[in-house]
Structure 1
């Protein structure tokens, strides 16, 4: 954390700086950096600059993007709070004055989401005593999101209330302040964090999300806030940067933030799940929250048009379609099992006629129809378009017709089949031998197993003919 860094002090897109050093990377060190950025380069260099215009990775926030002397900034890293190194695929001689351009649109998205997370985590800490124990922003790609882990369980209703409370704080346009504490606050302030085992609840913190969102400085919450100083995840020392929103949150943080909460505009919860005894929440703030909402609204309206209904009745319409689909699925299963019974009867009738030959005359899994093929002690049945759940049902039904080891196959591709199988005593051991030969995958119990077979129709027939 660099107290006087330009990324804290100014909101500009261009800066001038001098190159203090330019170190070429080679061998394992170069390979490690390439792995980190996910791309290979003919050459890589680590630059140190006379100024700090680019935010380095830290505190769950990715480094800034931009260019140095026209070359793309691939990464920026804080080296033990002593200096920042900048990864480039271009060599720039020491002493050169360079123009540094910051991708301010990306910086702003990071600041909006970081500040939105502070409000959210602060309200949770005040109401429930839970602490933020994990934080990561992934704001690029087709699925931008912020992930936050809390050491306590939160219900859907509670999260919905908190979402409203965060947006209320945003509308109040409160200042987002920063201050620096030079003393060691580590051990003293760790006591202010709630104990994860008892949940950290207290009568003082049992306040509704609505109250938290409108509490004015100087009230009960403000006095409680002053008592505990600020949120933190670990013991800190030296110059500590504390980012505060009066009456809402105060947290040790090295990230970039907006100047006032109103600049965030919108806060949106995407989803949540239980995680390691606590709650993992996915969220977005600012412009990205708006774009996500806009995208989902378009999908909602498109679905409404396709289903010839308005969006208010879309849920009811989908429920009706689901009921119809389930009914249709039930009919298909019933018809499919009737076909299985007919095939089973056909197999049993031929087996009685052909017992002396010990070979079935059914076709070897060809065509669109249901077929059987095999020998007296190994039969295979062909169900061209059956999914796995139907194959299992077919296999279960055929047990009453087949007194030997058998498989129910359905094609998945030119050289891939899926199957369900059942057999007599020792069937599982036989399957393990076939599996060791390399074409089979899967497993199960003697009564029923399932998996895949890799090979063409001819290779499957050859296996049946040669199987022992």
Structure 2
């Protein structure tokens, strides 16, 4: 038996700890359900006070730290927890399997598309980004089984992972953990290009009053459809405007400013931010801001993945512009694809410089001179062929006329 004094101290401290915990849960209930889930990392008790150290994932405007709100599922279940929202740079994790759908009947019951030789896996939480918002999904492996598609069922908030059927499928068991690994180069490229799109769209809005009316991301590029304001001096983007825009975007990259994500439960909470365009949602809105709140480079609702700081974009290149349905479609790339594009262009430039025996700053002049010479040579050749044909034609005519 423990001495009575020791039992008294233990009871006293644990009772106070319990009261503190109930108090925080009550405050949580008052301020909303999204502040409800705690992760207690450590507790300390002293004769004067007991302290609970509680960790969440992001910072709430009131000063609390909280975990992002979750969309409820049918039958009272919770939606898939999206770990990439709070740790976008996590490359792999061990996660718990919640469900396996491997028959056509199961897919039909859940309203899902059945693909032969594949299975669908539901996890309690995921590091894989599902396709949406103009951004392709993440790919990778699950227990070394290729993940070939990731999508979210919007009415339930469940994220499904489509895996190719192979011998390792037997290693997947409900309520057991699986090792999930991202195809990191793909995720990083998506983060870089999507963040670059935000910078370009925000700068077009602030510099020229242009509005982003459409966004699409491919494997190594993105396109944005811009409608210029009637007040703008130009009706289309000039080369000078594109150069200014590309320089301004890369200047923001060099400043390595923070990219902040806010998880808002209501439309009013999201509307309090300096948004670039109107909101389409009424609840559970993710707002992404690049730069400070007073004068951000960009701020808008977005569910995609982004780099934590603009320096992670690396490089932004504007590849081309074209007319599209009365708007200007800008094709851009960033990060590793931008480096590869620049490397290819450098290789082509070096080859041309060697061929024309000149430096890069005189290359176009040399090409123009050579093109002029080639043009003169082509004209001379054309005139010679023309004269030769006339001469041959005349000979044939004379021969024909001399026949009896």
Tell me if TM exceeds 0.5.
yes
Which residue of the partner structure matches residue 204 of structure 2? 124
Instruction: Describe the shift of the 1:341–1:175 C-alpha distance in structure 2 as closer, same or farther (beyond 3 A).
Output: same
1:243 aligns with 2:295: no
Question: How many angstroms apart in 2 are the aligned matches of 1:136 and 1:112?
Answer: 14
1:180 to 238, 254, 263: 263
Alignment of 1:30-179 (within 5 A): 43-80=117-154, 82-90=157-165, 91=169, 93-95=172-174, 96-139=176-219, 144-152=220-228, 153-179=236-262
Question: How many angstroms apart in 2 are the aligned matches of 1:15 and 1:323?
Answer: 62
1:341 aligns with 2:390: yes
Question: How many angstroms apart in 2 are the aligned matches of 1:126 and 1:165?
Answer: 11
Structure 1 residues 82-112: Cα deviation after superposition (integer angstroms, max 9, x where no partner): 1111111124554143111012222111111
Q: Is the partner of 2:240 in helix, strand or coil?
A: helix
Instruction: Please state how far the C-alpha of 1:345 moved relative to its aligned partner.
Output: 4.5
Question: How many angstroms apart in 1 are the aligned matches of 2:136 and 2:69?
Answer: 16
TM-score normalised by structure 1 residue count: 0.59
Instruction: Please state how far the C-alpha of 1:19 moved relative to its aligned partner.
Output: 2.5
Which residue of the partner structure matches residue 231 of structure 2? none
Instruction: Please state how far the C-alpha of 1:313 moved relative to its aligned partner.
Output: 0.8
Instruction: Please state how far the C-alpha of 1:336 moved relative to its aligned partner.
Output: 3.1
Alignment of 1:325-364 (within 5 A): 325-342=374-391, 344-345=393-394
Question: How many angstroms apart in 1 are the aligned matches of 2:379 and 2:182?
Answer: 59
Instruction: Describe the shift of the 1:154–1:48 C-alpha distance in structure 2 as closer, same or farther (beyond 3 A).
Output: same
Alignment of 1:210-225 (within 5 A): none
Question: How many angstroms apart in 2 are the aligned matches of 1:51 and 1:335?
Answer: 77
Instruction: Describe the shift of the 1:240–1:306 C-alpha distance in structure 2 as closer, same or farther (beyond 3 A).
Output: same
Instruction: Please state how far the C-alpha of 1:344 moved relative to its aligned partner.
Output: 4.5
Question: How many angstroms apart in 2 are the aligned matches of 1:185 and 1:232?
Answer: 14
Alignment of 1:244-323 (within 5 A): 244-245=289-290, 246=292, 247=295, 248-323=297-372
| Superposition RMSD in Å | 3.1
Instruction: Please state how far the C-alpha of 1:295 moved relative to its aligned partner.
Output: 2.1
Instruction: Please state how far the C-alpha of 1:54 moved relative to its aligned partner.
Output: 0.3
Which residue of the partner structure matches residue 45 of structure 2? none
Question: How many angstroms apart in 2 are the aligned matches of 1:49 and 1:294?
Answer: 40
Question: How many angstroms apart in 1 are the aligned matches of 2:92 and 2:121?
Answer: 18
Question: How many angstroms apart in 1 are the aligned matches of 2:173 and 2:403?
Answer: 90
Which residue of the partner structure matches residue 22 of structure 1? 100
Asked if the contact 1:25–1:46 (Cα under 8 Å) also holds between the matched residues in 2, the reply is: no
1:9 aligns with 2:83: no
Which residue of the partner structure matches residue 48 of structure 2? none
Instruction: Describe the shift of the 1:238–1:275 C-alpha distance in structure 2 as closer, same or farther (beyond 3 A).
Output: same
Which residue of the partner structure matches residue 6 of structure 2? none
Asked if the contact 1:65–1:103 (Cα under 8 Å) also holds between the matched residues in 2, the reply is: yes
Question: How many angstroms apart in 1 are the aligned matches of 2:199 and 2:92?
Answer: 30
Asked if the contact 2:279–2:301 (Cα under 8 Å) also holds between the matched residues in 1, the reply is: no
Instruction: Describe the shift of the 1:62–1:351 C-alpha distance in structure 2 as closer, same or farther (beyond 3 A).
Output: farther
Q: Is the partner of 1:182 in helix, strand or coil?
A: strand
Instruction: Please state how far the C-alpha of 1:258 moved relative to its aligned partner.
Output: 0.8
Instruction: Describe the shift of the 1:73–1:2 C-alpha distance in structure 2 as closer, same or farther (beyond 3 A).
Output: farther
Which residue of the partner structure matches residue 41 of structure 2? none
Question: How many angstroms apart in 1 are the aligned matches of 2:255 and 2:90?
Answer: 26
Question: How many angstroms apart in 2 are the aligned matches of 1:63 and 1:346?
Answer: 73
Instruction: Describe the shift of the 1:68–1:328 C-alpha distance in structure 2 as closer, same or farther (beyond 3 A).
Output: same
Instruction: Please state how far the C-alpha of 1:260 moved relative to its aligned partner.
Output: 1.0
Instruction: Describe the shift of the 1:233–1:293 C-alpha distance in structure 2 as closer, same or farther (beyond 3 A).
Output: farther
Instruction: Please state how far the C-alpha of 1:6 moved relative to its aligned partner.
Output: 1.1
Instruction: Please state how far the C-alpha of 1:301 moved relative to its aligned partner.
Output: 1.5
Question: How many angstroms apart in 2 are the aligned matches of 1:89 and 1:350?
Answer: 78
Question: How many angstroms apart in 1 are the aligned matches of 2:317 and 2:299?
Answer: 21
Instruction: Describe the shift of the 1:348–1:57 C-alpha distance in structure 2 as closer, same or farther (beyond 3 A).
Output: farther
TM-score normalised by structure 2 residue count: 0.68
Instruction: Describe the shift of the 1:2–1:16 C-alpha distance in structure 2 as closer, same or farther (beyond 3 A).
Output: farther
Question: How many angstroms apart in 2 are the aligned matches of 1:292 and 1:353?
Answer: 68
Instruction: Describe the shift of the 1:308–1:277 C-alpha distance in structure 2 as closer, same or farther (beyond 3 A).
Output: same
Question: How many angstroms apart in 2 are the aligned matches of 1:124 and 1:48?
Answer: 40
Asked if the contact 1:63–1:75 (Cα under 8 Å) also holds between the matched residues in 2, the reply is: yes
Structure 1 residues 116-173: Cα deviation after superposition (integer angstroms, max 9, x where no partner): 110110011122222211212223xxxx322111112322211211111111111222
Alignment of 1:403-422 (within 5 A): none
Q: Is the partner of 2:266 in helix, strand or coil?
A: coil
